[in-house]
Amino acid sequence: MPRERSGAFAPGRVNLIGEHTDYNRGLALPFAIGEGVTVHARARDSAAADRIFAHARDLDETDEFDLGKPRPARGWRAFVRGTVAELARAGYPLRGAHVDIAGDVPLGGGLSSSAALEVALCLALIQLGADADGETETELDRREIAQLCARVEHRWVGAHTGLLDQLASLYGRLDAASLIDFATLRIEYVPLRLGTWRLAVADSGERHAHASSPYNRRRAECQRACELLGVASLRDAEVQRLERLPEPLRARARHVLSENQRVLAAAEALRSGDLLALGALLNRSHASLRDCYEVSTAAVERTVRGVHEAGAAGARMIGGGFGGYVLGLFAPSIPLPDGVREVRPGAGAHLLGA
C-alpha cells in the first residue's frame, strides 16, 4: 500500500570548530541546533501524479515541475528541484506530491538552512515513495543521503561544498557535538557539557551564497596545493613540507592542518570540561580563518569584536565565511548581550510519523 502522507524535520547546525576541513578529508566538530526545516508531503491525485508542487511557506512562494525532468532554477527552487532530480537519479522511487516547506533557520547565515532543506526533503520524499510496509527510516543510509545532498549543491546550485552541513544535520544528537572524520565519515559523539556556560550566535548582517562567494576558489586552491605536494588530500600533507608551497596556497594549507589539530584539542577540552581552553581554541580558529584562509569580512570582524567586548571567552565566524553568524562562548557570570541568541544542541533529522 502506498503512503498518502509523510513528513520530516532536519535541523540546521552550528559548527563548533573545524572550518574548511570537510572537503580536505579533515575533522570538524558541529552540533545540530533546535531550529530547522520541516517538510510535509502529500501524494497528488492521479491527474497530477508525476508533478511536484512545492510551497515555501516562509517566503510564500511556490514552484511546480515534472518529477521526471526538473529544469534548473534559482534560489530555494534550485534546492528543491535538485533534490528531486538527484533522488530520481539515485533510483529512489518517487511520487508526485504537494510539498509544504517551513523553517526557522536564517537563510544564508552559516547555520546551514540549505542542508536542512535538502535533508528534510529527502527524508520526506523517500518515505512517501516507499511502500508503507517497505523500507523504514532505519534502513536508510544516512551517509548516502548526505552525499546525494552534496551533489544537489554541486550540480544544481554551483556550490562545491563538502559534507559538513548534511552530516551534522543527519547525525545530530541532543546534548552532543559530532566529531566527524571526513576521511572515513566516522562520527564520534562528544557530550556538549556546558554547565551554565552558553554558546550564542551574533549576526554580522551580511548574507552569503557559496556559489557566488570565493568559497569555490578556496576549494580549488586546496586542490592545487595537493597537486604540488603530491598528496591525494591535505589530510595526508606533512606540515614540514608546506614550506615548498607558494603563497597563498601555503597559508591555506597551514589553516587546514592547524584547524584539524584544533578540532582534536576542542574535543579534548570538552571531555575534560575545560571551557576556557575551548574559548581560546575558538579564538585561534578565527584568527586562522581571517589571516590564513582569508574568508572574513569587515562586518564579520566588527561582530567578532563586539562579541569579545561583551565578555565572551571565545568567538569565531562559522560556516563558509564572507558573512553570516559569529559564534561566542560565554562564561556563567557574563550576561548575553542584546541581539545575540543562544544556541543549544538539538535532535538530528527525523521522520515525523505523518
* Catalytically annotated residues: 165
Q: Shortest approach of ligand GLA to residue 216 CB, angstroms?
A: 11
Q: Which is nearer to ligand GLA, 65 or 215 (CB)?
A: 215
Which positions from 202 through 221 interact with ligand GLA, judged by CB under 6 A? Answer: none
CB 274 within 8 A of CB 329: no
- Asked if the bond preceding 248 is cis, omega within 30° of 0, the reply is yes
**Among 20, 81, 235, 255, interactor with ligand GLA by CB under 6 A:** 20
Q: Which is nearer to ligand GLA, 314 or 320 (CB)?
A: 320
Q: Shortest approach of ligand GLA to residue 162 CB, angstroms?
A: 4
Residue span binding ligand GLA (CB under 6 A) among the ranges 15-23, 66-74, 186-194, 336-344: 15-23
Q: Which is nearer to ligand GLA, 7 or 26 (CB)?
A: 26
Q: Shortest approach of ligand GLA to residue 267 CB, angstroms?
A: 16
Q: Which is nearer to ligand GLA, 7 or 323 (CB)?
A: 323
Q: Shortest approach of ligand GLA to residue 167 CB, angstroms?
A: 9
List the one residue out of 163, 202, 195, 167 whose CA is nearest residue 316: 202
Angstrom CA distances, 298 to 78, 124, 305, 315, stand at 30, 40, 11, 15
Tell me: does residue 285 bind ligand GLA (CB under 6 A).
Answer: no
CB 122 within 8 A of CB 128: no
Mark residues 106-145: x for contact with ligand GLA by CB under 6 A, - for none: ----------------------------------------
Q: Shortest approach of ligand GLA to residue 138 CB, angstroms?
A: 26
Q: Which is nearer to ligand GLA, 95 or 219 (CB)?
A: 219
Q: Shortest approach of ligand GLA to residue 40 CB, angstroms?
A: 25
Which positions from 159 through 178 interact with ligand GLA, judged by CB under 6 A? Answer: 161-162, 164-165
Q: Which is nearer to ligand GLA, 130 or 180 (CB)?
A: 180
How many residues belong to the site for ligand GLA (CB under 6 A)? Answer: 10
Q: Which is nearer to ligand GLA, 6 or 285 (CB)?
A: 285
Tell me: does residue 19 bind ligand GLA (CB under 6 A).
Answer: yes
Residue nearest to ligand GLA (CB): 320
Tell me: does residue 23 bind ligand GLA (CB under 6 A).
Answer: yes
Q: Shortest approach of ligand GLA to residue 20 CB, angstroms?
A: 5
The 3-class secondary structure across the chain, one letter per residue, is CECCEEEEEEEEEEECCCCCCHHHCCEECEEEEEEEEEEEEEECCHHHCCEEEEEECCCCEEEEEECCCCCCCCHHHHHHHHHHHHHHHCCCCCCCEEEEEEECCCCCCCCCHHHHHHHHHHHHHHHHHCECCCCCHHHCCHHHHHHHHHHHHHHHHCCCCCCHHHHHHHCCECCEEEEEECCCCEEEEEECCCCCCEEEEEECCCCCCCCCCCHHHHHHHHHHHHHHHCCCCHHHCCHHHHHHCCCCHHHHHHHHHHHHHHHHHHHHHHHCCCHHHHHHHHHHHHHHHHHCCCCCCHHHHHHHHHHHHCCCCEEEECCCCCCCEEEEEECCCCCCCCCCEEECECCCCEECCC
Positions touching ligand GLA (CB under 6 A) are 19-20, 22-23, 161-162, 164-165, 319-320
